[in-house]
Amino acid sequence: MQHVALMAAAEAARAHAHAPYSRFAVGAALLCADGTVQPGCNVENASYGATLCAERVALGAAVAAGQRRFTAIAVAGPAGVALSPCGICRQVLAEFSPDGGLLVLMRAADGTPRQARLADLLPDSFGPDQLRTD
Ligand SMILES: O=c1ccn([C@H]2C[C@H](O)[C@@H](CO)O2)c(=O)[nH]1
């Protein structure tokens, strides 16, 4: 799938955001290895802390649908804002991108497409290797 189409899917998912507190609607679109596109949007909560970012909603829905391998994720926020996944989302995405090769599609503040590999957004990450103590 083209990067432009994946970003368009993320932009479309923004419309479903539940963001009454921040009013900062975010959409994500996760491209699965089989070509399926799983959308996600942020789902805020009155407790604030229980808020889910669009990226984690997309990932959780994809895993619940039986997907395990992912090629790319696009993230779309409000126009004029440079957006990239927060630290928690980077860590959660890393769980399903052990080599850090997941392509993250973003937009700069002026709308210019920007992309990075997950490993470059989350270097020296904590993963299952650290849990092997024996
Ligand atoms: O990459 C990001 C950054 C922020 N948010 C959400 C969380 C919260 O609902 C709102 C403001 O932080 O934006 C996302 O969904 N994805």
In a 13 Å sphere around the CA of 128, the CA atoms on its Cβ side amount to 6
Active site residue ranges? 55
Kindly state if the Cβ of 85 falls inside 6 Å of ligand 1: yes
Topology (CATH) of 3-131: Cytidine Deaminase; domain 2 (3.40.140)
Alpha carbons 69 and 31: distance in angstroms, whole number:
9
ipTM of the complex: 0.99
List pLDDT tens digits, range 6-32: 999 999 999 999 999 999 999 999 999
User: Considering only CA atoms, which of 24, 95, 34, 87 is closest in space to residue 60?
Assistant: 95
User: Among residues of the chain, what percentage have pLDDT more than 90?
Assistant: 96
- Cβ atoms of residues 52 and 22 within 8 Å: no
CA 12 to CA 94: how far, in whole Å? Answer: 25
Grouping H, G, I as helix, E, B as strand and the rest as coil, residue 27 is strand
Nearest atom (ligand 1) to Cα of 57: 15
Identify the pLDDT of residue 1. 67
Would you say residue 126 has pLDDT above 70?
A: yes
Distance 78 CA to ligand 1 centre (A): 10
The H or E element that residue 115 is part of is: strand 113-117
pLDDT digits (tens, 9 = 90+) for 27-71: 999 999 999 999 999 999 999 999 999 999 999 999 999 999 999
The residue ranges of every structural domain in the chain are 3-131
User: Tokens 């970012």 label which residue?
Assistant: 53
Q: Which residues, other chains included, contact 73 with Cβ-Cβ below 8 Å and sequence gap of 6+?
A: 28, 29, 30, 31, 55, 58, 59, 85, 93, 102, 103, 104, 105
